Every structure is written in C-alpha cells, then in structure tokens.
Amino acid sequence: MDLRLGRVRWSIRCRHMPLSRADGSVPSRSEKGKARAILNRLRRRYPTIGTALDYESPFQLLVVTVLSAQTTDENVNKVAPVLFAAYPTINDLAEADPEEVERIVYSTGFYRQKTKSIIKLAQGVEEMFDGEVPMDLDELVKLPGVGRKTASVLLAEAWDVPAIAVDTHVRRVALRLGLTDQSDPVKIERDLMALYPRSEWSGLSMRIIQFGRDVCDAKRPLCGKCELFPLCEFPDRFAFARLTPPR
C-alpha cells in the first residue's frame, strides 16, 4: 500500500470525524441544530465581521492588537502609521529606543507597558522565528505576550486559518447560551469546535465577541432586546429582560 496515500486518506477522514467536547462527549443533532440557529441569528446581526484595526502584515496586526488594549480602534489607527513609519521593519522595532516608542504610543494609554510589550514581541519574532511571524497557534503562543486568544485572532484575520478565539466575552456568552458548561478557555474552545464546522470557527468567535460587547454585557445584558432569548439558558434572562430599557 502507498503509505503517503494512506496518510492523506487518514487525515481527510480525521477532518470529517465528529470532534468531541472537552469532556469526551459528542454533541447530539439537536445540540448542533441549536448551535447553528444561534450562529444564523448572529450572522443576521453581523453579516460581515472583522477587526476595525488597520494593518498591513501579520506582525503589524500583533502590534496593533497590543496597542488596542483599553483604548479605541480609531485611536490605534491614528498612532500605528506613525509607529510603522518610524520603525518599518520588525528588526527596527526590536532595536528601538523605548523612550522614542513611548512618545509615539503615548496617546493609547499604558504607554510604558505597551512599549515594552511591542519591543519584546519584535525581539521574540527576530530571535525565535528569524523575523517571520509563524502561522501556527502552538508557535505563536511562544511569543512574549501572545496568548491563545491573540494567536487565534491573528490566524483567522491574517491568514484565514480556522480558529476560535476565547476571550472574556466568548466565555460569558457561550456559557449563558448553554454552548458550553466549562470555564477554562481551552475547554470552551474545544466545546465550540465540537459544535461547529471548521469553516465557521473564525466568524463565530468574532461575532460572539461583538455580540458580548453590544448586547450580552457582563453586568447588564439587554435580554429584552435579544434575538437569542428563546435559545438562551441564562437563568436571570427574565429578570434582565424586565430591566432592559425600551427601544
């Protein structure tokens, strides 16, 4: 038997085998149906979804993601072109004078910490990956300051690689909707992967993140205006529906 052909067939079969959840169970048809209904409604709310941050390369996306903490995307989009004009290559930023970088990123807040982070990031890409941002989640998370969430966003945004980014919004909303009963981000990621086809992974998490910001707030979810209300399992949804201000 041709071993290479065998491996290809095996890998195709694996790609189509149902994925199991973190607890080892496989979602039922009705659970998958509910999951699909949730995504369909989110897709109606957000027909297109993607980052509002401007970038021209995977490395620039990493940098603007760091800069975007605790500030608006508009603010980052004003600062980033100045930064990338001053430091056009990863190596330039790796060797930058921190005080000069601080002056440029000052208006994004937490400028000292952000300066340290982006210089370390540049040094990490240079030293660990010869100046090339790796297109692999396990490699990306080796970079200083890059967690699974940032790595997943990068894979999805920069290379269109299916990935589920689990941040605080995805964690909260997925739990309330009954898409998971886990609290660990890696297990939540696994549960969502088991519920949805690979082609939906990236769009799903980006939409949930936006929905968590716009509607399903941590402290004051707008349950009275929520299209996912009939599919939701959050015990307090009725109380929050009564508190939701009228349109």
- Closer residue to ligand SF4 (CB): 184 or 233: 233
Structure tokens of 159?
């290379």
Q: What are phi and psi of 180, to 5 degrees?
A: -155, 160
Of the listed 149, 160, 219, 225, which one is catalytic? 149
62: left (phi over 0), alpha (psi -120 to 50) or beta: alpha
Among 83, 105, 133, 223, binds ligand SF4 (CB under 6 A): 223
Catalytic residue among 34, 114, 167, 191: 167
Shortest Å, Cβ 172 to ligand SF4: 8
Is 221 a binding residue for ligand SF4 by CB under 6 A? The answer is yes
Using the minimum distance from each CB to ligand SF4, give the nearer residue, 121 or 192.
192
Reduced 3-state DSSP string for 102-137? HHHHHHHCCHHHHHHHHHHHHHHHHHHHCCCCCCCH
Segment interacting with ligand SF4 (CB under 6 A) among 60-68, 106-114, 156-164, 229-237: 229-237
Nearer to ligand SF4, 24 or 235 (CB): 235
Residue 146 touching ligand SF4 (CB under 6 A): no
Per CB under 6 A, 21 contacts ligand SF4? no
> Among 177, 188, 204, 209, which residue sits at the site for ligand SF4 (rule: CB under 6 A)?
177
34 is catalytic: no
Q: Is 167 a catalytic residue?
A: yes
Which two three-digit tokens encode residue 231? 């599919």
C-alpha Rg value of the chain to the nearest Å? 20
Near ligand SF4 by CB under 6 A: residue from 144, 216, 220, 238 = 216
**41 vs 103 by CB, closer to ligand SF4:** 41
Q: Match 């205006």 to its residue by tokens.
A: 225
The whole-angstrom distance between residue 82's C-alpha and the CA centroid of its chain comes to: 26
Contact (CB, 8 A) for 240 and 220: yes
3-state helix, strand, coil in the chain (%, to 5): 65, 0, 35
- Tell me which long-range contacts 22-30 makes (C-beta under 8 A, separation of at least 24): 22/182, 22/184, 22/186, 22/187, 22/188, 22/190, 22/191, 26/194, 27/194, 27/195
Q: Is 222 in the site for ligand SF4 (CB under 6 A)?
A: yes
Q: Which is nearer to ligand SF4, 135 or 218 (CB)?
A: 218
Among 65, 92, 176, 179, binds ligand SF4 (CB under 6 A): 176
Catalytic residue set: 149, 167
Q: Which residues bind ligand SF4 (CB under 6 A)?
A: 176-177, 215-216, 221-223, 226, 228-229, 232, 234, 237, 240
